[in-house]
Structure 1
Amino acid sequence: MGEINIPRDQQDALAAIDTNELDRVIEQAIRGERLGDLHRLPLTGCGPYIAKQLHSLEQALTEHREAKAPRKRAETADTLRRAGRDLSFAVAAMKRRMETEQKDGQLFHVDDQIIPPYRFDKRLSVRVSYRWRRTGDDEWRLGSITFVHDVDPRPDYTTPAPKRKPSAAKQEQERQSKLYQTWEHLKRGALYSVRDYFRDGGDGDKIPKTFQATVDSQTRELNNYSTQFWRQQP
């Protein structure tokens, strides 16, 4: 699944599932203690969230089928019912999300396919491209915004020092790993910020070309507000 967009193949799989039929088949599987007709529904093609819930239901069915003692059967039956409800909820939730994305898509689309750089430096950047229009009859307008974040080079004294000093190669490997995690945080924040800006009715003409991400005053790191470019900066 994309960071903010459901891929087309997953949308097709979701659209092919009738929620009433799903609930009927889930109930049938619980009573019969096997997946049965659930195999016929394209649940595994609906993305990792739904696939995970389906796997949990499969495990619950196996445990309930293998349970023998009455007390154990009662416990596994409760777990099985809960797994069935979780699967039904997951499909309904993803269908609602898909409907919201399709509604959004009439006025804007944010490209979430962003490839990380080969190597990271202390200055990180993420470029988010988008298209938008004020009404469904207008022509599409293209734009982009680049989010920049300068990683604080000061060491983190809250982390205990290793007993043996790692090699230069190991230190660089660890540095690149931390920078990648920070870049991923920046990317996620950037994507959600642009999406939420448009979803709240924001004007694409007012999006800046670049934005310096703000940092938490205490941790000196990114937080949930770092990429909200429309907020008044201190």
Structure 2
Amino acid sequence: MGEINIPRDQQDALAAIDTIEADRLIDQAIREERLGDLHRLPLANCGPYVARKLHYFERALTKHREAKAPRKRAETEHTLRRAGSDLSFAVEAMKRRMDTEQKDGQLFYIDDQIVPPYHFDRRLSVRVSYRWRRTVDDEWTLGSITFVYDEDLRPDYTAPVPKRKPNAAKQEQDRQTELYETWQHLMRGALYSVRDYFREGGDGDKIPQTFEATMDAHTRGLNNYSTQFWRQPA
């Protein structure tokens, strides 16, 4: 799944599922203690969230079918019904998300296919491209914003000191891993910030070309507000 956009193949699978029919087949599977006609629905193709809940349901179904003692069967039935409810909720939640994305798509679209750089330096950057329009009758306007952030690479003196100092290669490997994790945090924050800005009615003409992500004064890292380019500085 994309970071903020449901891929087309998953949208097609979700669109093919009727939630009332899905609920009926989930209940039937619980009663009959077998997957039955539920396997006809493309649940496994609806993205990792639904696929994971389907896996839990199938596993709970197997455990309930194999249980023999009354007390054990009561426990497995409870687990199975909860797994069925979770699967039903996941399908409904993803269909609602798809509907929201399709509604958003009439006025804006954000490209969430962002490839990380091969090598990371202390100064990290993420470029988010988008298209937007004020009304469905307007022409699309293309734009982008680049988020930059300087990672704080000072040693964490609260961490335990290793018994043996790692060599230069291991230190660089650890540094790249740390920078990659920070870059991922920056990338996710950038995408969600641009999406939320448009979703709240923001004017695309007012998006800056670049934005310096702010550092959390307490953690000296990124937080949920670091990439909100429209917030006035305190």
What TM-score does the superposition give when structure 2 sets the normalisation length?
0.99
Question: Which residue number corresponds to residue 83 of structure 1?
Answer: 83
Quote the residue 2:179 is aligned against. 179
Determine the C-alpha separation between the residues in 1 that align with 2:157 and 2:33. Answer: 54
- Which residue number corresponds to residue 27 of structure 1? 27
1:136-175 aligned within 5 A: 136-175=136-175
Question: Deviation string for 1:17-57 (max 9, x for gaps)?
Answer: 00010011001100111111111100011000000000000
Counterpart-to-counterpart distance in 2, 1:158 and 1:30 = 52
How many angstroms apart in 2 are the aligned matches of 1:102 and 1:116?
27
Q: CA RMSD in A?
A: 0.6
Q: Distance in 1 between matches of 2:62 and 2:197?
A: 46
Cα distance, 1:218 vs. partner?
Answer: 1.5
Q: CA deviation at 1:153?
A: 2.2
Distance 1:217 1:86 in 2: 39
**Secondary structure at the counterpart of residue 58 of structure 1:** helix
Q: 1:183: Cα distance to partner?
A: 0.2
- What is the match of residue 232 of structure 1? 232
Q: Which runs of 5+ in 1 are unaligned?
A: none
Match of 1:12 in 2: 12
**Do structure 1's residue 114 and structure 2's residue 114 form an aligned pair?**
yes
How big is the shift at 1:158? Answer: 2.0
Map 1:68-79 onto structure 2 (within 5 A).
68-79=68-79
> Shift of the alpha carbon at 1:12?
0.3
Work out the CA distance in 2 between the residues paired with 1:153 and 1:36. 55
Q: CA deviation at 1:221?
A: 0.4
- State the AA in 1 paired with 2:139: E
Partner of 1:60: 60
Distance 1:91 1:129 in 2: 29
Distance 1:54 1:164 in 2: 46
Shift of 1:94: 0.3
- Alpha-carbon distance between aligned partners in 1 of 2:167 and 2:40, rounded to the nearest angstrom: 54
Alpha-carbon distance, 1:119 to partner: 0.5
More displaced stretch, 200-209 vs 28-37:
28-37
Q: Which amino acid aligns with 1:68?
A: K
- Structure 1: which 4+ aligned runs deviate by more than 6 Å? none
What is the CA–CA distance in structure 1 between the aligned matches of 2:102 and 2:157, rounded to whole Å? 47
TM-score (norm 1): 0.99
Q: Could you tell me which residue of structure 1 aligns to residue 189 of structure 2?
A: 189
